[in-house]
């Protein structure tokens, strides 16, 4: 069975149910050997970054939601610059409880998490803390050129950024787990299943080439 590593914390039960409902098993990241896991879903921050970097190099899918997205940004896994250099960050705002929608951007790069989605399909998400990507203009242009700004909110602001290989996604909201068989999780499951069935090969790392200018 496909095993997905997760961090234990309050509120994780609904996501565990979603993962279980589509034939995967959620396991405690702290109680498992990370190298044996098939993918990761992070709903909160962790300082255990080595397993994530190793998983990324192996082409395993990593989904970060809310504070989990912040972890992926701080680890340099998105947008995936050379040597995992941190090129952007998240601004954390006030605590809120807000239901909203995201959709694929017009020029998004197809990746592990988008295979079940259609253009302009509204995806229900919820936020308990307002986050916003803070991206230098030159890097933002490169992200947009590559289609790594995968999801956007109704007002056009960026909701999620992926790496170039397409196996890591940082989404600054939580999935609405009331709908059965969430399409983002289904895409993740099918990618892992395809690897296990030797139908596809894991994605290879493709760094996003961006070199910030330093001024004195």
Model pLDDT for residues 44-75, shown as the tens digit of each residue: 988 889 999 999 999 999 999 999 999 999 99
Q: 133: pLDDT confidence band, cut at 50, 70 and 90? A: very high
Residue 215 has pLDDT above 50, yes or no: no
Arch. (CATH architecture) of 2-196: 3-Layer(aba) Sandwich (3.40)
Distance CA 157, CA 163 (A): 18
pTM: 0.93
Rounded to an integer, the average pLDDT of 167-192 is 90
Residue 206 has pLDDT above 80, yes or no: no
Distance CA 185, CA 25 (A): 12
Residue 94 has pLDDT above 70, yes or no: no
Question: Which residues lie below 8 Å from residue 185, measured CB to CB, with a gap of 6+?
Answer: 18, 19, 22, 24, 41, 63, 175
Q: How would you class 202 by CB atoms within 10 Å of its CB: exposed for 0-12, middle for 13-18, buried for 19 or more? A: middle
Q: In terms of Cα–Cα distance, which of 18, 10, 67, 58 is closest to 37? A: 58
Q: What is the pLDDT of residue 32?
A: 87
Distance CA 48, CA 92 (A): 21
Q: 8: pLDDT confidence band, cut at 50, 70 and 90? A: confident
- For 20-35, the pLDDT digits (tens) are 999 999 999 888 899 9
């Amino acid at each position: 069975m496909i095993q997905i590593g997760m961090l234990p914390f309050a509120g994780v039960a609904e996501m565990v149910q979603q993962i279980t409902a589509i034939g995967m098993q959620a396991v405690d990241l702290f109680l498992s050997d990370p190298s044996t896991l098939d993918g990761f879903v992070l709903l909160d921050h962790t300082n255990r970054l080595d397993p994530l970097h190793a998983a990324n190099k192996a082409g395993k899918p990593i989904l970060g939601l809310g504070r989990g997205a912040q972890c992926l940004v701080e680890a340099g896994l998105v947008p995936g610059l050379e040597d995992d250099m941190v090129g952007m960050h998240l601004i954390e705002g006030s605590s809120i409880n807000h239901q909203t929608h995201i959709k694929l951007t017009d020029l998004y790069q197809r990746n592990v998490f988008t295979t079940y989605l259609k253009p302009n399909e509204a995806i229900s998400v919820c936020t308990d803390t307002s986050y916003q990507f803070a991206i230098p203009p030159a890097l933002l242009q490169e992200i947009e050129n590559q289609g790594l700004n995968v999801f956007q909110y109704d007002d056009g602001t960026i909701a999620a950024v992926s790496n170039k290989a397409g196996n890591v996604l940082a989404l600054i909201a939580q999935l609405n787990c009331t709908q059965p068989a969430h399409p983002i999780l289904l895409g993740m499951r099918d990618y892992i299943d395809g690897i296990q069935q030797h139908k596809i090969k894991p994605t290879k790392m493709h760094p996003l080439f961006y070199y910030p200018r330093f001024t004195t």
